[in-house]
Structure formats: C-alpha cells, structure tokens
Amino acid sequence: MKQPAWATRQLERICQEYEVPVPTTKWTRKQRYSSSGRYRFIDNSISVNAGSDTKDQRVTFLHEVAHHIHRIRTKGTGGHTALFWDIAFELFHDKRNRVKKKYALDRSARYKQGALKAYARKKLN
Ligand SMILES: [Zn+2]
C-alpha cells in the first residue's frame, strides 16, 4: 500500500524539527484492526503493517519515528529507554500529530512502566 498522505506530511515536518534525515518507509496492509511497526537502524527504514484503524496507524507510526530519532541521537543505541519514551510522548503530545494521549498510553501498555513515566513527565509540562 502507498504511505498515507498524513504520514508523509508528519514525517517530513518531524524530521525537519528534530534535525534528523527522513527515513525510508514501507507500508503494507494487514487484515486486522491494529497495526504493527518496525524500525531498522541498519538501513534507516520504518515499516508499518497497517491495520484498519487510523488512530492505531498513527500511534504505531509515531512510535517507529520515535525509534528513528532516538537511534540517531544516541548513535545506535536502541530499545525502549526513558529517552525513547520522552521522544515518543513528545510526538504523541504534539496536537499536530493528531494522537489522543490516553489512547497512546493504552496502546503502549505492554511497555507499561516506561510509558507511564514518560506520560507523567509530559503531564507536568
Ligand atoms: Zn518500539
């Protein structure tokens, strides 16, 4: 499938603001409600396996964009670190990215602790 126009716009704006190169992206369609994603540092690429729900696509996509920014800032360290979650929730909290924070938090529940801490930090700001 072709990358949705909103994703292209968000990616270009976010990469400009965070001063990181625009990664290559690949979108495939999945016959499910929820989406899944993957970021590969080795070739600087994001893949999204897009489910039917747009808000889930948005959260999944921004999660992978956060991995991209995080990996570049830390020069290759990956994982769901505190810094990663700070970046992810910065993206989720930006109204222009059109993500509901509560939904992003619920969606991040399987990584609960880090996500909750980042959510709490953002709430204070
Ligand atoms: Zn992740």
Ligand 1 centroid to residue 22 C-alpha, Å: 18
Ligand 1 centroid to residue 53 C-alpha, Å: 19
Its pTM stands at: 0.91
Domains plus CATH for the chain?
5-122 (3.30.2010)
Confidence check: pLDDT of 115 > 90: no
Number of H helices, E strands in the chain: 5, 3
pLDDT in tens, 4-13: 999 999 999 9
Ligand 1 centroid to residue 115 C-alpha, Å: 11
| Beta strand residue intervals within the chain, DSSP E | 24-29, 36-40, 45-50
Ligand 1 centroid to residue 38 C-alpha, Å: 7
Specify the pLDDT at position 50: 97
Question: Could you say which DSSP state residue 48 is in?
Answer: E
* Rg of the chain on CA atoms, in Å: 13
Question: Could you say which DSSP state residue 87 is in?
Answer: H
pLDDT in tens, 35-94: 999 999 889 999 999 999 999 999 999 999 999 999 999 988 778 998 999 999 999 999
Specify the pLDDT at position 124: 66
